[in-house]
Structures are given as structure tokens and as C-alpha cells.
Amino acid sequence: MLKAVILAGGLGKRLRPLTNDRPKPLVEVAGRPIVVWQVEWLRRQGVSTFIMCVGHLKEKFLEIVGNGSRLGVKVYYSVEEEPLGTGGALKNAEPLLKGEDVFVVVNGDVLTNLDVSRLVEKARGAVGSIALVPLPSPYGVVETDGEVARSFVEKPLLREYWINAGVYAFTPRVFEYLPERGDIEREAFPRVAREGLLRAVKYDSVAWKSIDTHKDIEEAEKSVIPYLKAFLGDQA
């Protein structure tokens, strides 16, 4: 059965005061914590075992998520005694991933309904695969005809540019590239990409939002949660 790692050590400074008493992945969106949405989304795709990489206010995960039985899954914890970054956190979890040929990794602040099976398939034979989504414009766009303004498009997706969606599939080879302390994005990905061993999987029609600010919560409740609920069916 497929395992998933959730990188859940984020402080969420820009989400204060919501993160004064809980880690960022436990902030509620539409009535439930981000990490609970993530578990339900991945459980629907065959993930039955989760590894939570935790550090800051780790005891809150035990209160809310526990061993996963309330969510119908098994949850194990990899604890950072001090911040290690996303790469160091994943490397710290290596003993819990022995024997896996491929596993999923998700940043603890991402809400989406994307299909991880595509990532898993592409990761085989490489170090891993990375989900990409179109860059969402932070501003509305004005479409013109010469000097005439013709239409206004509110925050369109800029499909000529692709960004890291914070969802990955890795083979155990990734541990050769991970730092003891540092981020996957800065320390590991550039090296893997230079060697041609990182597969890119583009998702051009999925719901996706990274939760970094209070405004992101509001936007996710409008633009992602309805699609995620539809994906989950009567679970939501």
C-alpha cells in the first residue's frame, strides 16, 4: 500500500494569531484542519499510512490527529527536535520509509484535488516527480485591443508559466540528495534536475491553493474546497 509523508513543521508566521497555539497545517479551512483535508484526499487515492514530519507544537498533532484511527488510516511521526527544513525533515523520516519503492510527499500547507497516481507512475525509474500547476496571477488582467481596453479577467491562471505545487512522488534514491538540514527545493531539486532524474507532471485543470495568509484561507474556501468536497463525495 502507498505511504505518504506530510511535511508538517511549518510555523505559519503570516497566519498569526491562528498559529499562536497550533502549527500551520492544523489551521482550519472550512471547518477542518488543512492536514485532515490532506489525509482524506490521499486516503481516497489508496494511501493508508501517513508519516507526519513534525516539530513546532508537535503535541497538537497528537491531540487532533493522533494515530489516525479517527480518520481511518495509520499515522506515524518523525519528530524534529530543531528545525531541519523540508529536506532535512524528509531525510529524518528515512527509517520509516525503508522498503518503499515509491512514496508521496506533500507540503503541509497545500489543498488540492490532484491525482497522485500520475506522479507515482512517473517517479518510477527516476529519483522522483514533481507536480506543477499554472501560475495564478496575483492581479486582475486587462485585455486590450491596441489602445482600447476590451475586457477584465480577475486573477487568471498564467498557463505559460508553471510552479511547484508542493506535491511529489519519490523513490528511495532521493535520500542520496537530501541535506541533513535545508530545503528540498533549494538543496535537492537543482541537483536532481541537472542529472535529468526529476520528472515534471503538469496539472492544468485541478483545484489548488497554498495556505500562507488569511486571504489564502478565504480564497481556498471559495476556489478549492467545493472541488475537494466533490472529490471526497459523502465523506465531506
For residue 120, count other CB atoms closer than 10 A to its CB: 21
Cell of 24: 500551520
Quote the pLDDT of residue 9.
84
- Please tell me the distance from the alpha carbon of residue 208 to that of residue 112, in angstroms, as a whole number: 4
Homologous superfamily assigned to 2-235 = Spore Coat Polysaccharide Biosynthesis Protein SpsA; Chain A (3.90.550.10)
pLDDT tens for residues 190-228? 999 999 999 999 999 899 999 999 999 999 999 999 999
- Catalytic residue list contains 98: no
Per domain, the residue ranges of the chain are 2-235
Exposure string for 28-40, b = 16+ CB within 10 A, e = fewer:
ebbeebbbbbbbb
Enter the C-alpha cell of residue 216: 489564502
- Tell me the whole-structure pTM to 2 decimals: 0.91
Can you list the residues of the chain whose pLDDT is less than 70?
234-236
Burial status of residue 136 (CB atoms within 10 A of its CB: 0-12, 13-18, 19 or more): middle
Long-range pairs, 147-153, Cβ under 8 A, ≥24? none
Gap between the Cα atoms of 10 and 212, Å rounded: 10
Catalytic hit among 24, 155, 215, 222: 155
**Contact 61/39 with Cβ under 8 angstroms?**
no
- Looking at residue 69, its pLDDT comes to 94
Residue type, 93: A
- Terminal C-alpha separation, the chain: 24
DSSP annotation of 155: S
User: Tell me, what's the pLDDT at 20?
Assistant: 86
Of 137, 4, 153, 10, nearest in space to 74 by CA = 4
What local confidence, expressed as pLDDT, does residue 235 receive? 52
